[in-house]
Amino acid sequence: MANSDHTTRRTFLGLTGGAAVLVIVRPADATPAMLQAAIRNVVGEANVRAGKVKLDIPPLVENGNTVPMTVSVTSPMTADEYVKSIHVFNEKNPQPNIGNFHLGPRAGRAQVSTRIRLADSQKVTAIARLSDDTFWSATADVVVTLAACTEEAI
Amino acid sequence: MPSALINVPKKAKRGDVIEIKTLMSHIMETGYRHTASGDVVPRDIITSFTCRFNGTEVFRADLYPAIAANPFITFFTTVTESGKFEFEWIGDKGFSETAQASITVE
């Protein structure tokens, strides 16, 4: 019995050691600081408020290689009041940017959909720039079981 | 061989807001993957997608490696006249593809 415990502990240590090595060889992930920098790059010094934006993304995804995502913004989309652009960011992919979508008053409806990659369970943030140059955002947490981007190519 | 799939309604009423769905076949190699021998697989992605209607830009997107392979993008636009949508994808390694779709507005 003591012998089998010993083996279990050794196996466990081996596994954790292996995991530590894996963590070390992974490329540098986008840190929250990089995320903040990427957001500042888009919004400048402007204040980003929560609201108006709706981010539809599954809370739990099996495969991070293709995650459906829809961003919609509450806006009348008239010539005077419309959404200029929608920017999507993530927290832990190697790069903080996902995509920038440039709209205009003639879009009619401020909504875009695409499929994205997520390298880890993380937060996804969508920021909309309105015609009056105010910024609004929405954030969603996504749990990913199979990570994308960094796996070994064949 | 790259190929595009475009979904635009054939007909619409003046002032309608229509949904446009686009898909371009592309590997979207992130540049963060390694081969078994440890070499980095170079980045090869589409960086820009543009939609024009009768020559005027109506939608544009900047894409990053975090966009999944075979970029699928849907968006909306208001139609005021009959005409032609032109779609353009530009990417790494000189990638450049175009597609067109016509709409009749009543």
**pLDDT score for B26:** 95
The ranges of chain B with pLDDT < 70 are 1-2
ipTM of the complex: 0.94
**N-to-C CA span, chain B:** 36
What confidence score (pLDDT) does residue A66 get?
A: 94
Q: Give me the half-sphere count of Cα atoms (radius 13 Å) on the Cβ side of residue B7.
A: 11
Interface test with B, best of A89, A109, A114 (most B CBs within 10 A): A114
Pairing, β B4-7 against β B83-91:
unpaired
Decide if A108 and B76 are in contact by the 8 Å CB cutoff. Answer: yes
Residue A16: per-residue pLDDT: 56
Q: Which residue of A has its CA nearest to B77?
A: A107
Q: Which fold has domain B4-32+42-105?
A: Immunoglobulin-like (2.60.40)
Give pLDDT, residue A25.
Answer: 46
Token pair 């796996």 in the structure block, residue: A151
B1 CB near a chain A CB, below 8 Å? Answer: no
A42 to chain B, any CB pair closer than 8 A? The answer is no
Question: Is A97 in contact with B66 (Cβ distance < 8 A)?
Answer: yes
What does pTM read for this prediction?
A: 0.84
What pLDDT is stored for residue A29 in this prediction? 62
The residue extents of the domains of chain B are 4-32+42-105
Which chain A residues touch B60 with a CB distance below 8 Å? 101-102
Q: What is the pLDDT of residues A32-57, one digit of tens each?
A: 888 999 999 999 999 999 999 999 99
**Rounded Cα gap, residues B15 and A92, in angstroms:** 42
**A66–B69: do the CB atoms touch at under 8 Å?**
yes
Per-residue pLDDT of B16-40, as tens digits, reads: 999 999 999 999 999 988 888 889 9
Q: What is the pLDDT of residue B48?
A: 97
Contact A90 B66 (CB under 8 A): yes
Q: Which of B58, B65, B74 sits opposite A112 (nearest CB)?
A: B74
- The tens-digit pLDDT sequence of chain A (154 residues) is 445 455 566 665 555 555 554 444 445 566 788 899 999 999 999 999 999 999 999 999 999 999 999 999 999 999 999 999 999 999 999 999 999 999 999 999 999 999 999 999 999 999 999 999 999 999 999 999 988 755 666 5
Cβ-contact A51, A128 below 8 angstroms: no
Helix (H, G, I), strand (E, B) or coil at A12: helix
> Is the CB of residue A99 less than 8 Å away from at least one CB of chain B?
yes
